[in-house]
Amino acid sequence: MTTLRVVVDQLIAPVPGSIGRYTEQLTQALITAAPAGCEVEGIVSSSTPAEYALIEERLPGLAGLYKTTLGRRELAAAWQLGITTSPGPGMIHSPSLLAPLRRHDRVNGGTQVAVTVHDTLALSHPEAFTSATVAWTKGMLKRARKHADAVVVPSHAVAAELAEFADFGDRVRVIGPALSRTFHLPGAELARSFADELIAERLAALDLPTEFILTAGTLEPRKAVTSLIAALGRPGAPDLPLLVLGPDTWGELDLAAVADEAGLPVGRVRSISGLSDENVALVMSRASAFVAPSLAEGFGLQIIQAFQMGTPVIHSDAPALVETAGDAGFVVEREDADGYPERLAAALDRVLGDRELADRLRVFGSDRAKAFSWRDSAERVWQLHADL
């Protein structure tokens, strides 16, 4: 039996975040797509019995769980230095940079290690991260350059950006993520009448405006949510409320203050956070347009979410967002920061004021969303390890 061991530790991190969701979805798909004679095991830091049980519950079909002797923080530090043990020879796949990277003989020893780099933001925008995160990322990238047999990235844009910081040669493979299996409208498994009733209940609880613009992110400068808010204060901009999927504060900034500075009335901009995948899908489906103004990303997963729900998308020309959207979104140039809000306002006016254009974006987006599937991603990961 051939075993692929996946580092699943992020599933039990205090804040699993996007990498935790990625780990869960990819590992589930790897289990389902395992070729004949192959199985998937997990690697996890020393944890509690309840945490081990949680992993096994979320990853049905997992053949086993290798439990290291170190806790999560100690394991991350030890692997950065290459001084701890791993499950032994065999295939190891990490959905992040957290991996047992050290000297090994892939050809004669039978060991191969692949890691994942979701973006290069800790290097290109270090001000948005803690110094510890930046240092750890740099350290693990250095080890990956020396010892990783393959590096998975979500987009060609990240591959190009990564090459500016480290030379991985032909070891880089582009394998994109997909939408969570739980990303669908509430009641998708119910009869139509019961689903409609559940959706009505959720809508009442969410208290959504009849029409609104939707975005996602924080007030971190890179996300450019402030530029979008400023755009809504421009003369001639659509007079619609803005909902932000994310927190209402970042550092000393808060949405209310930014909106007030843009000349918007109280309540015109508000955050909506802590939603389940079903409720995010519901909000996406009701939005007049989804705007992704970010100046730098590794992949545009929320663009795919909007496409899936048939919502027109406006996005910046950040390379990863352009790559994710294909030709299915309305692109806004980032250059000339002072003029960016003006261009965002013009894009909103164009898309929301042209029903034919909006309908065309909906159709293109729905088609584009079909290009991403976890089954395809998992099969490509299995092929990657077979090639190694």
Quote the pLDDT of residue 193.
73
The pLDDT score that the predictor gives to residue 216 is: 97
Say if 183 falls within a structural domain: no
Residue 259, domain member (yes or no): yes
Q: Quick check: 36 pLDDT over 90?
A: yes
Q: Which residue has the higher pLDDT, 181 or 104?
A: 181
Same structural domain, 243 and 96:
no
**Are 130 and 212 members of one domain?**
no
Q: Note whether 199 and 310 are within 8 A (CB).
A: no
* Token code pair at residue 323: 């790559």
What proportion of the chain, given as a percentage, has pLDDT over 90?
88
CA distance from start to end of the chain: 17
Q: Are residue 363 and residue 382 in the same domain, yes or no? A: no
Tell me what the pLDDT averaged over the chain comes to: 94
What does the pLDDT read at residue 85? 67
pLDDT interval class at 194 (50, 70, 90) = confident
In a domain, 132, yes or no: yes
What's the number of domains the chain is made of?
2
226 in the same domain as 96 = no
Q: What is the pLDDT of residues 282-325, one digit of tens each?
A: 999 999 999 999 999 999 999 999 999 999 999 999 999 999 99
pLDDT tens-digit readout, 166-179 = 999 999 999 999 99
Q: Are 171 and 201 within one domain? A: no
Domain holding 207, by residue range, is: 192-369
Question: Does residue 82 carry a pLDDT above 80?
Answer: yes
Q: What is the side-by-side strand order in the sheet with 112-116?
A: 64-67, 38-44, 2-7, 91-93, 112-116, 150-153, 172-174
Same-domain pairing of 168 and 241: no
Query: Is 184 a domain residue?
Result: no
- Are 208 and 98 in the same domain? no
- Reply yes or no on whether the pLDDT at 86 is more than 80: no
In terms of DSSP H, where are the helices of the chain?
17-32, 49-58, 72-81, 106-109, 121-124, 131-147, 156-163, 192-206, 225-232, 255-261, 277-286, 301-308, 319-325, 340-353, 355-369, 374-387
Q: Is residue 186 part of a domain?
A: no
234 and 342 in contact (C-beta within 8 Å)? yes
Position 366 pLDDT exceeds 80? yes
Closest by CA position to 79, among listed 101, 62, 96:
101
CATH of the domain at 39: 3.40.50.2000
Q: Mean pLDDT lowest for which of 62-71, 101-110, 208-217, 353-362?
A: 101-110
- CA atoms of 127 and 323, how far apart (whole Å): 25
Q: Is the pLDDT of residue 84 over 90?
A: no
Q: Same structural domain for residues 168 and 202?
A: no
Q: Does residue 264 lie within any of the structural domains? A: yes
**Interatomic CA distance for residues 201 and 226, integer angstroms:** 32
The model carries a pTM of 0.94
What is the percentage of the chain residues whose pLDDT exceeds 70?
A: 99
Same structural domain, 214 and 159 = no
* pLDDT in the model for residue 90: 87
Strand order in the sheet with 213-216: 269-272, 242-245, 213-216, 289-292, 313-316, 330-332
* Statement to judge: residues 210 and 326 lie in one domain: yes
Burial of 193: CB neighbours in 10 Å, binned 0-12, 13-18, 19+: exposed
Q: Are residues 217 and 356 in the same domain?
A: yes
CA angle in degrees (0–180, nearest 5) for 52-55-60: 125
Look up residue 190 and give its two tokens.
């119910």
